[in-house]
Every structure is written in structure tokens, then in C-alpha cells.
Amino acid sequence: MKVIEKNEGPKIEYLQEGNNLLSFRDELFINLAKCERDYPVQIDICENKDGILTTGVSQRYIAQIDIPARQYNEVPVENTELEGTENEGESFKLEPVPFSMDNVTLTLWATEGGSN
């Protein structure tokens, strides 16, 4: 995972667990593999006025997660596997490339006292 520090100051505590889970301050857990789509996804992590972490825009920006669009490999198939489908006659099918945290970018903002 690529990490970018957007400004100076203390950043939120986070932990990458395995190849798909990211947790913040042991309070908010996100399975990034389940968030991957056929288009780029951006997840905003904010802190509300009570200091509780939320996804989506709220009181104060804490972090942003960027997940690129899902990639696919063309896998050869026998034409009989595609009979009766809209892809009939093609000699391949698309299979998603397994999710990888190496493709994710985490941008961190200062939690307090940082300059924007």
C-alpha cells in the first residue's frame, strides 16, 4: 500500500491486516477487497464532532483511501463454455485479477494541529 502524508502533524493510527483489511484506531474496520469495483473507488475517513470515525465527509478529514478499478485477465475457454451467452463464439472469458493492497493508496491528514 502506498501511503501519502498530506500535511505535517500527528496522523491517525492504522493497521493493515493481511491483503484486504485496514483498520483505523481499532475503531473502524474496512475490507477493501469488498469495496473494489469496475471503476475507481474513493473512501473518505472523517472524524465527527464527537471524535467518532465515520466514512463519508464529516467534521474533520482524517484519511482517504483510493482503490483503482478492478483489473481482468483474458482466460482462454472452449467455445462450448459460452454457448447460449452474449459472448458465444468468443475464445476467452474475463476473470478478475485478485485484489492486492499494493494497488491501494492511503492519504493521511494531520489529526490535530496540522497545516492544510
H helix or E strand, kind and range, residue 78: none
How many structural domains comprise the chain?
1
Is residue 47 domain-resident?
A: yes
Per residue in 62-105, pLDDT (tens digit) is 999 999 999 999 988 766 655 666 555 567 888 999 999 999 99
pLDDT confidence bin for 109, thresholds 50/70/90: very high
Residues 17-46: b if buried by 16+ CB within 10 A, e if exposed: eeebebebbeebebebbebbeeeebebebb
Is residue 81 domain-resident?
A: no
Is residue 56 domain-resident?
A: yes
Look at strands 2-5 and 60-67 and give their pairing: unpaired
Q: What is the pLDDT of residue 78?
A: 67
Cα–Cα distance between 1 and 21 in angstroms, integer?
11
Is residue 83 domain-resident?
A: no
- List the domain range (segments joined by +) for residue 40: 2-72+104-108
More confident residue, 18 or 85: 18
Is residue 88 domain-resident?
A: no
